[in-house]
A and B are shown apart, each in its own frame.
Chain A
Amino acid sequence: ELKVEQNPLFLSMQEGKNYTIYCNYSTTSDRLYWYRQDPGKSLESLFVLLSNGAVKQEGRLMASLDTKARLSTLHITAAVHDLSATYFCAVDGREYGNKLVFGAGTILRVKS
């Protein structure tokens, strides 16, 4: 079964703290995506990771990919309130029928 699992599903953190969101997937994928979604809005693309060991950073967010472990992480450094949103990981590829399969999402709340 094609599954993408994220944890935690809910994360409440203080400004200035660091934390990591984990994304496990069940079957070999071609690409791993991270999206951000604000309430009532569409998906904003954050990162696309293609190969084992890939690491991408944008501002306070850094994503990495371990294809052997079928694991991606989204690391948040020195969180700020503006990062509050829901974060989704997703995978696609031939094993997934050329469609995106999403995790359930991680709701991030950064408290001032």
Chain B
Amino acid sequence: ETGVTQSPTHLIKTRGQQVTLRCSSQSGHNTVSWYQQALGQGPQFIFQYYREEENGRGNFPPRFSGLQFPNYSSELNVNALELDDSALYLCASSPLGRGTYTFGSGTRLTVV
């Protein structure tokens, strides 16, 4: 059984740039959710993808967008980066509605 893999592990971007983060899904899981965790805070839900469609979204602006691919892997794209986007980005895969979440190791994004 494979776990959830995220890439890259760390990256540094300049304000205004765009970034793409990637996440594989655990075998047998058809849903991927993305969370943003700012320093010292709990993770905040960004959005969830199921069957390649967005299936719920948190309170994040449209410059946060995503994709899910036929193999259930996913991308998170953030445009026009702001300093406040600096955070740990976590993805979690799960079977839809089953409540069995497997988290990846995260991507630490620093915006300077």
Contacts and interface: CB of A to CB of B under 8 A. Distances in A.
A pairs with B = yes
A41 B92 CA distance: 14
Interface stretch (B14-22, B66-74, B97-105): B97-105
Interface string B77-112: 000000000001010100011011101111010000
Interface in B10-56: 33, 35, 41-45, 48, 55-56
A105 B58 CA distance: 19
B103 A42 contact: yes
A88 interface: yes
Contacts of B56: 97-99
Interface residues on A, range: 20 to 34
B33 A100 contact: yes
A33 B42 CA distance: 13
Contact of B101 (A41, A88, A100): A100
B41 A105 contact: yes
Given A40-B108, A45-B103, A101-B45, 15 more contacts: A33-B101, A42-B90, A42-B105, A43-B90, A43-B103, A48-B99, A88-B42, A92-B99, A98-B97, A99-B58, A100-B33, A100-B45, A100-B101, A102-B43, A102-B44
Interface of B: 33, 35, 41-45, 48, 55-56, 58, 88, 90, 92, 96-97, 99-101, 103-106, 108
6 contacts: A30-B99, A40-B108, A43-B103, A99-B48, A103-B42, A105-B41
